[in-house]
């Protein structure tokens, strides 16, 4: 039953997130698209389903494993952008996914305490942010098509079905590691590169990276609070902290002369 709930959640929320992020990106720029994609509107409900059906202990372990899953997600972003400088989006996606899978397999063997997992995740985000910070190039003119947002949402739904079906029967650790799988990230990166070239993909994923510390904090609060304080207080606290940090990240993006 858990798989069907998770699939339903992803099929509803992931495409809606992509649609909302795309609409905002048309008005405010590609970095805002990436920033919006960093909200845990997919991962949060998935952990909630784990809480209801598997219990708070399982969900807390999955949330803790999601901290290291961030490392794989950041690895995907860096690899995608490295390949996208010289090659089309399909090769960028394939290389990014391969690196994501390799990192996930390696991290599955790492049984680190929560504080070390959080530190590794934040350090990885910081390193990637510095690595990509100064690589700017002019944005290509965007051509908005009437079918663009529906196409992005449909692509997201297809990825959800394929990847969620393949991930059935996993334990708490691997489930947590795969919770940040770049479903939404893949779609927004591909369409940004198609619309505005490498510069569009770069700015979009820079926006995502800016929002990732808030995602890490969200997972960390759930990992620490679900068992001792119960689901209601844990999720309320995690959401509150996440929104606060996301607003701070948006302020920093705006100060960075959003384009």
Divide the 259 residues of the chain into consecutive groups of 10 and give the mean pLDDT of each group.
62 72 71 83 80 85 90 95 92 95 89 91 93 64 60 69 57 70 83 84 91 94 94 94 92 67
Res 231: pLDDT: 92
User: CA 46 to CA 43: how far, in whole Å?
Assistant: 5
User: CA 227 to CA 21: how far, in whole Å?
Assistant: 33
Res 4: pLDDT: 65
Res 33: pLDDT: 81
- Write the DSSP string, 68-121: HHHHHHHHHHHHHHHHHTTS-HHHHHHHHHHHHHHHHHHHTT----HHHHHHHH
Res 184: pLDDT: 80
Res 236: pLDDT: 95
């Amino acid at each position: 039953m858990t798989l069907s709930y998770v699939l339903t959640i992803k099929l509803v929320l992931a495409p809606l997130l992509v649609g909302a992020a795309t609409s905002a990106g048309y008005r405010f720029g590609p970095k805002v698209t990436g920033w919006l994609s960093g909200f845990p509107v997919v991962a949060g409900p998935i952990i909630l389903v784990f809480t209801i059906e598997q219990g708070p202990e399982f969900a807390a372990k999955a949330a803790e494993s999601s901290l290291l899953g961030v490392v794989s997600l950041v690895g995907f972003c860096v690899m995608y952008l490295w390949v996208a400088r010289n090659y089309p989006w399909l090769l960028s996606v394939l290389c990014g996914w391969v690196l994501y899978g390799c990192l996930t397999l390696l991290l599955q063997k790492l049984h680190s305490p929560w504080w070390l997992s959080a530190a590794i995740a934040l350090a990885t985000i910081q390193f990637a942010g510095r690595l990509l910070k100064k690589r700017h190039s002019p944005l290509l003119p965007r051509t908005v098509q009437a079918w663009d947002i529906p196409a992005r949402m449909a692509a997201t739904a297809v990825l959800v079905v394929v990847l969620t079906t393949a991930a059935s029967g996993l334990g708490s650790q691997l489930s947590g590691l795969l919770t940040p799988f770049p479903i939404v990230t893949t779609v927004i990166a591909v369409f940004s590169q198609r619309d505005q070239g490498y510069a569009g993909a770069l700015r979009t994923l820079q926006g995502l990276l800016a929002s990732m510390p808030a995602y890490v904090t969200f997972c960390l609060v759930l990992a620490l609070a679900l068992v001792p304080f119960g689901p209601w207080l844990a999720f309320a606290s995690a959401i509150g902290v996440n929104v606060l940090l996301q607003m701070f990240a948006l302020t920093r993006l705006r100060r960075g002369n959003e384009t």
